[in-house]
Copies of this chain bind each other. A is one copy, B any other.
Amino acid sequence: MKKVKQNTETGRTYGGESAADRLARQRRQFMDAGLELFGTIGYRATTVRMLCKQAGLIDRYFYKTFHDTEDLLVEVYTEAVDQIKDKVILAIAEAADLGNPELQINAGLDAFFTAYENARVARVCWLEVLGVSPRIDALYTSRIQDFGDLLLLQGKAIKPSWSLPEEETRITGIALVGAIIQSAMQWLLDDYRSPRAALVNANSRLIRSLLESGQ
């Protein structure tokens, strides 16, 4: 009955790293490997062996941090979406100083499309997470909803008089997010052929026209 513990707390240092540091580094290596593989060959084609080879680690350390490849997908997706949401919020906030609502919308959209010029991130966020499991479906819908709410909030901020029928508000926010995502998705699948400004302008016009009409 030997203790086989290798907890974060009981573990000793190795290679100049504490147990916690090693765990964190391994996690990061697997996250990077996940983004790389999920974003290129795709989630369903990615195996544990491949992830380990890409990360330069062995499977024991994968199972120590993640339960599944699905588990890893959840974390890679969440990290990517959260980072992009932060960038968009930051861009909108910075543009607020200009006092021009249109420039604010454009700044947010530009930050969004710029972030998704990383094809791996784009592929994971839009092509790979869909239809994997009910758990991930729920995660996806919640993130889309978040973005929709952000858009609605921004719309209200720009034009306080703007209002829609109760039941259609949420749907409209989601629809706007869908417009942005779909154009970005086609952009990705078309090897980013159009200039980013065209994407920004087309979606900006769509949002502005809705804000102007619905008074």
Contact = CB atoms under 8 A, between A and B. Distances in A.
A92 interface: no
Contacts of A208: 213
Interface SS of chain A? helix
A127 interface: yes
A141 B184 CA distance: 12
A181 interface: yes
A167 B179 contact: no
Interface residues of A, number: 51
A212 interface: yes
Total copies of the chain? 2
Contact of A168 (B144, B167, B175, B198): B198
A110 to B, nearest CB: 15
Contacts of A209: 209-210, 212-214
Contacts of A179: 175-176, 178-179, 182, 206
Contacts of A182: 144, 174-175, 177-179, 181-182
Interface of A: 42-44, 123, 126-128, 130-132, 137-138, 140-141, 144-145, 164-165, 167-168, 171-172, 174-183, 185-186, 189-190, 194-195, 198-199, 201-203, 205-206, 208-210, 212-214
